[in-house]
Structure 1
Amino acid sequence: MRAITLALRRGARRRIIVLAALWALTTPLAAEVFQIADIRVEGLQRIAPGTVFNYLPVQVGDTVGDGVTGGIIRSLYQTGFFDDVRVEREGNVLVLWVRERPAIASIDITGNRDIDTKALTAALADIGLREGRVFDRSVLDRIEQELERQYFARGKYGVLIQSTVSPLERNRVAVRIDITEGLTARIKQITLIGNDAFSEKELLNLFELGSSNWASFYTKNDQYSKQKLAGDLESLRSFYLDRGFVQFDITSTQVSISADKKDIYITVVIDEGEPFRISEINLAGEQTVPAEELFPLIQLKRGDYFSRRATTESAERISNLLGDRGYAFANVNTIPEVDTEGREVAVTFFIDPGQRVYVRRVNMKGNTRTRDEVLRREMRQLESAWFSAELVRQSRERLQRLGYFEDVSIETPAVPGSTDQVDVNVTVTERPAGNIAAGVGYSQSQGIILNASVTQNNFLGTGKRVALGLNTSQATQFYQIAYTNPFYTVDGISRGFNISYRETNFDELIGADYSTDIGILGMNFGLPISDISRAGLGIRYQYTNFKAGSFSELAQEFVAENGNVFNDVILSANYTRDSRDTAIFPTRGGLRILRADLAIPGSDLEYYKLNYQEQYYVPLTSRFVLGLTGDVAYGGGYGDTSALPFFENYYAGGPRSVRGFIANSLGPREVDDDDPVGGNLKVVGSVELYAPAPGWPELSKTLRLGAFVDFGNVWETNSNRLIEPTGFNLNDLRFSAGLSATWLSPIGALSISFAYPLNEEEGDETQVFQFGLGQTF
């Protein structure tokens, strides 16, 4: 028995020795330090060993111990390629055991209606979740959270996002994201608590957010947004501070959602305080400008309620005045002193003008084609003059209006070593000097329209304009060559020449049986009156070949009395005032045009034409703009010409006039064949409410919607047995109302309208839907 026990003990010792030897060879690295003779990586499937070696902090020949092991494991984990990493040793060989993370074989997204799949897939790829990439569960978790946030921003608080990761062969996974969007939560009610001075209705009108109403599908006012609410609360604060409530405070804001996550309730608790009046208005600091010039800029009065906006605007006006007097770095601070007991505020404007600044040089950069003189003649800020912020602003606007540059920036750095001088550095980015354009359009009144033009707005960098153009349709053939020198003189007087030829078939245009061929050779001058107004004077020779058809008694009688070929010299004068903020989709300002044409005595036809056009735009809100337009014109004959030649008449009706009626169909008609002949007096106008298209902000730059009321007509004020009716009567005005849309498409402007005539008379030709594609010139 003892022998057996000894044998067992010897066997156990041998096993322990063997296990110890194996442990020494293959155990994870312990405290013993050794020099790496080789590195082996086990467990790789897709990743190349070289990729692993690039991330290792050690290489063959390095000495490895306990302190290095943790760094090796951390470096490999940080790559994001592996789920598991072990470091072992076999003799002097460093063995790395790794388990790769699976690769994404496919990504499937279902249930998303509010967020486009293509945009969502691109966003996932940017984050790191795309086919072929290593799958990381933490990335998927972040994506779920971000998707929830996006849907919450859209008011879908019941959204459910569920991700499924299915393992596939060859260490791959399929990712599926199922989205249940749910219904959009709407603002059910906004409640204000603590308002005594103003009604809740009046205050809620300041909010962009609001409860659902008939227009919510367009305005989206019932969709809650944290940012919009913050803006509304600031509007509320400004409203009170502008009415003397200097101690106004928003004590709490609560946003709650119903259990079914469909309705949102907002409660705002406010403390109005008491209104404060202005007790004193003082000026302090260094007054380089006399006080009698500064006080008119302060739109405050003693005894009035304190207004933060009026105070801020007054300080800005003082600062601007100082800036225009050369104090470029003037600083005006308002210091209100509040008397709580007397509920009064003493306002002090503290003025620190700084040192007066002069302009040393005006430097031009970026104009590789445009000559310096073209830029300098637009500058209102001159060298060696006082610096003026207003003149710098005007200079930039004038340069932008030239149309030669994509961008204009002006910097005013201080001159090194000087405390009272600055340079004005103008940097421009030039547009292509020439423009070649061709287009196809369609108009219900003219049919298919083909047009082409070659325009050089900045010919050889001189600022001169040269243009060649043609326009052809079923009713009109038009060809033109034009040249304009905007600075014919150093004072800014322009001079231009124009050669054009137009063939018009009135049978195609309005159904009347006659046509005209008109050739023009003209010259014009323009005189700048201000930055937004200009006067012009022109003279042109006009050749007219009038062709009367066999079915128009009116045309035949005209030829019998006057002939059919006419040579006329016409003087023209015009005045233009353009204060619109932009020529395309304006939101404020106006355009006024007055024009007079006179065929001088001795011309074959002696007549005159007067025209007044007005456009005015008023922003009602940040989204809605009211547009008012009017067009009044009158013409007549004198000398040997008894009346305005009827082929020079005005017309009304159609997309650019009174919508809802066929183009050029309103007004008097020939007695024998009922063809419209226009009239020598025109009155046309429109009232239209414009709004940008709902949706993405980018869409609002190219698409505008409108609701309008149009009115107008033309009259023949001279008696003529072949035309009826004659004479002027305002009761003949036609009215229409409808909806419109204008889209600046890549191939031209597309305008459509649905208009309903409001007072259609017997014989009127109506057309509810009208459209035009492309533009003529």
Structure 2
Amino acid sequence: MTARDAAQRDITLRSWAGLQVEAVQFKGIPPERLAPLPESLALQPHQPLDPLKVRDSLRRLYETGLYKTIVVEGLRHGDAVTIIFSGVPNLFIGRITVNGINNERLSGVLERSTRMNAGTVFNDAKFLQAQKLLQETLEENGFYQSKIFASTAVDSANSQVNIVFEIVQGKQARVGAVAVQGDSGMTIDSFRKKGKLKEDSKVSRDTVSNALSRLRKNYQKQNRLEASLKLDSHTYQPPVNHLDYGFSADRGPLVVVLVEGASLSKGKIRNLVPVYEEGAVDEDLLNEGDRRIRDYYQRAGYFNVKVTHDEQLKDKQHSIITFTVSLGMKHEVASVTVNGNKYFGTDTILPRLSVVKSSIVNRHGMYSQALAQADVNAITALYQSNGFSNVKVTPEVKDADVNTKGKKTKDAQLSVNYTIDEGAQQRIGAYVINGASKVQLSDLTPLLNTQSGQPYSSLNITQDRDSILTFYLSHGFDNAQINLLQRPSPKDPNLIDVTMNVTEGDQFFVNRVLISGLHYTRPSTVEDRVLIHPGDPLNQTALLETQRKLYDLTLFNQVNTAVQNPLGDELRKNVLLQFTEARRWDISYGFGFQAQTGNPQSNCANLTPQQLIQLGINPSTYTCSPNGKTGVSPAVLFNISRINIRGTDKSVSLNTTLGTLEQRILMSFSNPHFLDKPKLNLILTGGYTNAQDVTTYASSRLEGTIRLTDRVNKPNTLIYSFGYRRVKVDPNSVQVAPDEIPLVSEPVRVGGPGITWIRDTRVPTPLDATSGTFTTVIENWADSHFASQADFNRIDGTNSSYYKFGKLNTWVVARNTRIAAEHSYGGSDYNLVPLPERLYAGGAQSHRGFGINAAGPRDSLTGFPIGGTGAFINNTELRMPNPMLPYVGNSLGFVLFEDMGNVFEYARDIWPSFTRFRQPNRDGCRNLNEQEQSVPHPGSPISAAGLCSFNYFSHAVGIGLRYHTPVGPIRLDFSYNLNPPIYPVIIDYSSTPTNPIPAHVGEAGHFNFFFSIGQAF
């Protein structure tokens, strides 16, 4: 339509003013997409025609964002007129797909490089720009020969355009010629070598940045900190598919950084002076070096230290930077006090301060000007958040070289005092919400954390505003705005009246939910996790939660959520859910280790020197101790998994472990939403394990288990299981009396049901809890009715609790108690339980007074642990607040712990042993008569009872270090067993024909250490 036609129609409509509007029609956009907008337009049927209303309605239609252009037409029928809004609809960007790229990372980079956002308006300019950006990104990654074939598919029903970019990568470009301008100090060959710009190597997006980084580091190693280096040009040579580079390099002078007046190592200078980090020298960096050196020495006790710098250029090739340090007298922080505080107690303020008084763990304390200013800011923020807007904090530092008795001290004494002028406290006066017409005030007021009469805090008021705004956004009011008006009350200047003015805007709803990108995944798998549906308010919070739930399926690399036509005022909007499915097959591998005392030893046997030499063992240093050895237990992990089975979140995995203590292959099938119930998780497992987690034997286990996990609620979980396992002890690994080996190594089939209850209320994280409890109760049955060859019952309960205390609840007492018992249905309660099924304790997550699984009864002839049918272990830890230390800050914490308990021959021996601090009948343990120590258990030939008793509570004390990291604390524990057991060693597998070892009395070690990740419990 020409401008002349438009003007003519405008004149016609004005000339029809006052005629009755018979109908208002809309073309180009389906009526259901426009609804309910037509009913709210200014122009309505059965009213006189008003050109102003036509103009207003036209503006409102454009504001929806649905139209590209609109033409207003009119049809006259006598004294009536029909108005037609005829428009060309906008199309919106739908799914963007990049095909032809095998590298997932590059594919994602290319998709993002198009700068085409799903849901926004599509036009040809964006489309052409996207192709240009794709080509640039491909060339940045070395694909200069690539070709892009772009196509679009219009989805008229949903007003969107799906875009596909088919890419033919071509061969990746190679590094060609390299030219260097300037005084680089290197030959071209050396420049290439240092920058790893080897001729004919592949070009990637990181080729230049990595080369520049390596070359800068090379200059830095030479102390040429003022070197300049940049890329001038890169030229593509199509015939040979090479990329030629041109660099400018000036090595600059040799920079020597000296520190006078104090002794600092070269490494420490590099850490403190930022010119090494930045690879440049300027005044700002040198001033930063002054500050860092000053803070370093202030933390070391030189609180009056002064630092200056000077730069001298001797010649074009040599520059000297000198930091002059005047240390002054060494200090220690004798006291940190506050006065003038009335509203807050001193106990509330002091723990928030960064200036720290000297103590045992921090000899000089912590003081610097920066820390003192940080304390002023912290105290000010504390008061201002409680209504003291005019608070003033003044630090006062006193320096003295005599103590309170007037005696001269070795180090000067620093006293730091913060004087607080609180001022008047301001409180909330009237608190009013205005403008809420579409939402009930009764729905908004519970969201407020601040009430009239409470201390005034601008931070709390801002949080209230954010809470109200979040409520509106979660109910579809995308254009809601909230303005705060805060002013003193006319009744009292210390009362602040707060008015929250709400501009609600229109409420938006969901029109349709458009799902795309599902190839292998069933739509029903994702639809169950979608929390927004047609007709619902457009809830941004629910949209984010939907995205989280979909990611939790672990089926997708990317879940992109978008609102179609985000800038338009369309009242019913489409929501886009776009998926990029993850690879269904995944292979992972890794390596790990655990360092500790009491590592189980394998292949202990009565070997000749020749046999030891064949095994690579030095006969003169060979030992085989019942207490194991100190060392590292490495393990290699290799896993294969297959997800998205039959289009669901079911998966199959194969997990393998190869280590010195364990070799395992395990296959499992997982259905995390069994029977479509989100709280039910079904797992089927089967596999083979060969492990030596106790010094006495190595056992193999062939097992199959079905496990159903029921997440009853957030803290409580129930696990129902049923399993079969064939347990076998390697006869060549059994460290018991030789005549007992055939009995304890006989294969046993164990089968039956089990149930586990777990209750977990630990906070803030399970790996580093400070409060809450963790309880597990495991009940397992092995019964001949289920084809089990052994009939026994095992119950194993553990309870951990955590208690915070102290002024700021920074001290934690943690306790863990384990009680376990086994009972066989016939014969002896002890002997009918297979050796690998017995109870064991000891190690990093158990009683730290023993090596791994080394607590409890031992074989009366060899001294190796043989487990029991009762166990009681109690761990108590005092976890201290992390002190502020040099170098590591507050990342390092300390723990004092006491572990007590043991493994017992019979469960009934636990409680009588509670008060026994020493091992009973130690004389019997010193008896080395083989015949007397070979007395069998009553009614069982499995193992000898001997004369040695282990029915007592062993106690260990220790100290632990905890270095906190984002994945949990790194743990190092040192323990001392106060009363380790002794035992007879009549048969010693370290004995050789040339070096026989006589019978002797063994003793478990007093000292143990353990290294691992995570708290002990």
TM tier relative to shorter chain: 0.5 to 0.7
Structure 1 Cα separation of the partners of residues 734 and 353 of structure 2: 67
Matching of residue 765 in structure 1 with residue 913 in structure 2: no
Deviation at 1:519, TM superposition (A): 1.1
Query: Matched residue of 1:205: which SS?
Result: helix
Partners of 1:542 and 1:568 within 8 A in 2: yes
Partners of 1:360 and 1:384 within 8 A in 2: yes
Q: Which residue of 2 aligns with 1:177?
A: 321
Work out the number of aligned pairs and report it.
651
Deviation at 1:455, TM superposition (A): 3.1
Q: Which residue of 2 aligns with 1:148?
A: 290
Kindly report which structure 2 residues correspond to 1:726-765, keeping only aligned pairs within 5 A, or say none. 732=953, 734-741=955-962, 751-757=971-977, 765=1004
Q: Which residue of 2 aligns with 1:608?
A: 793
Return the letter of the residue paired with 1:753: D
> Structure 2 vs 1, CA of residues 565 and 609 (structure 1 numbering), >3 Å: closer, same or farther?
closer
Structure 1 Cα separation of the partners of residues 484 and 470 of structure 2: 13
Q: Which residue of the other structure, out of 408, 417, 421, is the alignment partner of 1:271?
A: 421
> Structure 2 vs 1, CA of residues 292 and 704 (structure 1 numbering), >3 Å: closer, same or farther?
same
Structure 2 Cα separation of the partners of residues 146 and 381 of structure 1: 52
Structure 2 Cα separation of the partners of residues 268 and 340 of structure 1: 34
Return the letter of the residue paired with 2:421: D
Q: Which has the higher contact order (CA 8 A, sep 6+)?
A: 2
Q: Which residue of 2 aligns with 1:434?
A: 586
Deviation at 1:579, TM superposition (A): 6.7
Q: Which residue of 1 aligns with 2:600?
A: 446
> Structure 2 vs 1, CA of residues 558 and 662 (structure 1 numbering), >3 Å: closer, same or farther?
same
Kindly report which structure 2 residues correspond to 1:178-577, keeping only aligned pairs within 5 A, or say none. 178-181=322-325, 183=327, 192=338, 194-200=340-346, 202-216=348-362, 222-224=366-368, 226=370, 229=372, 231-241=374-384, 243=386, 245-250=387-392, 268-275=418-425, 284-286=434-436, 290=440, 296-298=446-448, 324-327=474-477, 329=480, 331=482, 338=489, 341=492, 354-360=505-511, 378-381=529-532, 384-388=535-539, 390-392=541-543, 394-395=545-546, 397-398=548-549, 415-418=566-569, 420=571, 434-439=586-591, 441-443=593-595, 444=597, 445-446=599-600, 448-456=633-641, 458=643, 463-473=649-659, 475-492=661-678, 493-505=680-692, 509-511=694-696, 516-529=699-712, 534-545=717-728, 565-575=748-758, 577=760
> Root-mean-square deviation (CA), in Å?
5.6
> Structure 2 vs 1, CA of residues 523 and 123 (structure 1 numbering), >3 Å: closer, same or farther?
same
Query: Matched residue of 2:275: which SS?
Result: helix
> Structure 2 vs 1, CA of residues 761 and 673 (structure 1 numbering), >3 Å: closer, same or farther?
closer
| Aligned-pair identity (%) | 14
Return the letter of the residue paired with 2:639: V
Matching of residue 634 in structure 1 with residue 820 in structure 2: yes
Structure 2 Cα separation of the partners of residues 437 and 518 of structure 1: 23
Deviation at 1:738, TM superposition (A): 0.8
- The range that moved more, 264-273 or 661-670, is 264-273
Structure 1 Cα separation of the partners of residues 488 and 1013 of structure 2: 62
Structure 2 Cα separation of the partners of residues 406 and 116 of structure 1: 43
CA distances 1:488-540 after superposition (whole Å, capped 9, x unpaired): 5433343322112223457xx233xx654321012233344457765433322
Q: Which residue of the other structure, out of 642, 655, 667, is the alignment partner of 2:844?
A: 655
Partners of 2:957 and 2:978 within 8 A in 1: yes
CA distances 1:630-685 after superposition (whole Å, capped 9, x unpaired): 35343433644764726323322221212233322333455666544244344443
Unaligned stretches of 5+ residues in structure 2: 1-181, 185-226, 229-249, 299-304, 402-410, 602-632, 910-936, 939-943, 984-1002
Structure 2 Cα separation of the partners of residues 265 and 474 of structure 1: 57
> Structure 2 vs 1, CA of residues 284 and 446 (structure 1 numbering), >3 Å: closer, same or farther?
farther
Structure 2 Cα separation of the partners of residues 177 and 590 of structure 1: 58
Partners of 1:668 and 1:723 within 8 A in 2: no
CA distances 1:400-437 after superposition (whole Å, capped 9, x unpaired): 65667788886668634335556666788998862421
> Structure 2 vs 1, CA of residues 199 and 436 (structure 1 numbering), >3 Å: closer, same or farther?
closer
Structure 2 Cα separation of the partners of residues 651 and 528 of structure 1: 29
Structure 1 Cα separation of the partners of residues 374 and 501 of structure 2: 30
Deviation at 1:601, TM superposition (A): 5.6
- The range that moved more, 425-434 or 570-579, is 425-434
Q: Which residue of 1 aligns with 2:215?
A: none
Structure 1 Cα separation of the partners of residues 421 and 969 of structure 2: 52
Partners of 2:356 and 2:365 within 8 A in 1: yes
Deviation at 1:110, TM superposition (A): 3.2
CA distances 1:251-310 after superposition (whole Å, capped 9, x unpaired): 656789999x99877665433234566676665542655555555555567776667776
Return the letter of the residue paired with 2:307: V
Structure 1 Cα separation of the partners of residues 502 and 765 of structure 2: 36
Unaligned stretches of 5+ residues in structure 1: 1-44, 48-79, 82-101, 130-138
Structure 1 Cα separation of the partners of residues 516 and 552 of structure 2: 18
Matching of residue 159 in structure 1 with residue 307 in structure 2: yes
Structure 2 Cα separation of the partners of residues 308 and 725 of structure 1: 76
Structure 1 Cα separation of the partners of residues 761 and 552 of structure 2: 12
Partners of 2:307 and 2:326 within 8 A in 1: yes
Partners of 1:660 and 1:754 within 8 A in 2: no
Partners of 1:668 and 1:724 within 8 A in 2: no
> Structure 2 vs 1, CA of residues 282 and 613 (structure 1 numbering), >3 Å: closer, same or farther?
farther
> Structure 2 vs 1, CA of residues 454 and 46 (structure 1 numbering), >3 Å: closer, same or farther?
closer
Q: Which residue of 1 aligns with 2:90?
A: none
Return the letter of the residue paired with 2:895: A
Matching of residue 107 in structure 1 with residue 255 in structure 2: yes
Partners of 1:160 and 1:181 within 8 A in 2: yes
Structure 2 Cα separation of the partners of residues 717 and 321 of structure 1: 58
Matching of residue 667 in structure 1 with residue 856 in structure 2: yes
Structure 2 Cα separation of the partners of residues 114 and 454 of structure 1: 45
Partners of 1:449 and 1:471 within 8 A in 2: no
Return the letter of the residue paired with 1:439: F
Partners of 2:361 and 2:883 within 8 A in 1: no
Structure 2 Cα separation of the partners of residues 276 and 481 of structure 1: 66
Q: Report the TM-score, using the length of structure 2 for normalisation.
A: 0.52
> Structure 2 vs 1, CA of residues 271 and 173 (structure 1 numbering), >3 Å: closer, same or farther?
same
Structure 1 Cα separation of the partners of residues 817 and 560 of structure 2: 38
Structure 2 Cα separation of the partners of residues 625 and 375 of structure 1: 45
> Structure 2 vs 1, CA of residues 524 and 338 (structure 1 numbering), >3 Å: closer, same or farther?
same
Partners of 2:308 and 2:325 within 8 A in 1: yes
Q: Which residue of the other structure, out of 100, 103, 123, is the alignment partner of 2:275?
A: 123
> Structure 2 vs 1, CA of residues 390 and 128 (structure 1 numbering), >3 Å: closer, same or farther?
closer
Partners of 2:586 and 2:641 within 8 A in 1: yes
Return the letter of the residue paired with 1:752: L
Deviation at 1:394, TM superposition (A): 4.1
Return the letter of the residue paired with 1:510: T
Return the letter of the residue paired with 2:907: T
Query: Matched residue of 2:676: which SS?
Result: coil
